[in-house]
Amino acid sequence: MAAPPPYAPYKIAGQTVLITGASAGIGEACAWRFAAEGCKLVLIARRQERLEALAAGLRQHYNVAVHTVAMDVQDLDAIARLPEELPEEFQEVSILVPNAGLALGVEAVHQLRMEDVRTMLDTNVLSVVAFTRAFTPAMVQRNAGHLIFMSSIAGVEAYAGGAGYCPSKHAAEAFAVAARHDLVGTNIRCTSIQPGAVKTEFSVVRFKGDEAKADAVYQGIHPLLAQDIADNVLYAATRPLHVQVASLLVLASHQSSAKGLARVVKQG
């Protein structure tokens, strides 16, 4: 009996990938993985110096074309203008990764800071909708593309202390599902990545710079890393075109739910 032919992943070399929140964490890790595949990159974040340093490293190691845009993803007008403002070489975005997102605080529902709630909704929901609205018309016209949304386990289940963050991720998750329904008659794929406990700047931002509180989140477990999630993103992007990874929930090994953590790993 002859062995079946090797499974052939989809080759994405030469395609343009746009990543938001690209200056650190999961966004930065995604940039490295896509560069290794030979993709052209549009990297978006607020911190210009970090973007430029990342771009220089990517060009040096992988000799890929990189364009950086320093912008606040809460600026919806700037997002709407972006498809026309990109250099011609980068205008045909094939893979959109609206990764920028954040959590602010763990206050109970009766103690919420409305300014923080607004920032989470603007960043985690409205910016995702805006980037998708800006770049999908060209994808529909070409009948090709991939939307890879960075959701969260907080988009799957709600938990105490997440009255601001969880609704934002539930909304983003619903948007990803609705987009999949809207685009079902096209060759555009829609994927939602749902990470569990990932150790990045996320908890430091959530606790507004309190690194001791941030470190306590991961105490006693071996948390996921940004590179783990970037690997999931690349997996979804490189499946054959007849395969659509709809959602991918990824937990740390000693994690069973958002708050279900067995803190059994000894700190060495």
Among residues 28, 46, 261, the alpha carbon closest in space to that of 150 is found at: 28
Assess whether 169 carries a catalytic annotation.
yes
Assess whether 165 carries a catalytic annotation.
yes
Which position among 165, 199, 218, 266 bears the catalytic label? 165
Q: What is the DSSP string of 112-128?
A: --HHHHHHHHIIIIIHH
Which position among 169, 208, 235, 259 bears the catalytic label? 169
Among residues 17, 15, 12, the alpha carbon closest in space to that of 29 is found at: 17
Other C-beta atoms lying within 10 Å of the C-beta of residue 200: 20
Other C-beta atoms lying within 10 Å of the C-beta of residue 160: 11
Detail the DSSP E strand segments found in the chain.
Answer: 16-20, 40-45, 66-70, 93-97, 145-150, 188-195, 247-250
Detail the DSSP E strand segments found in 31-187.
Answer: 40-45, 66-70, 93-97, 145-150
Q: Could you give the residue numbers annotated as active site?
A: 165, 169
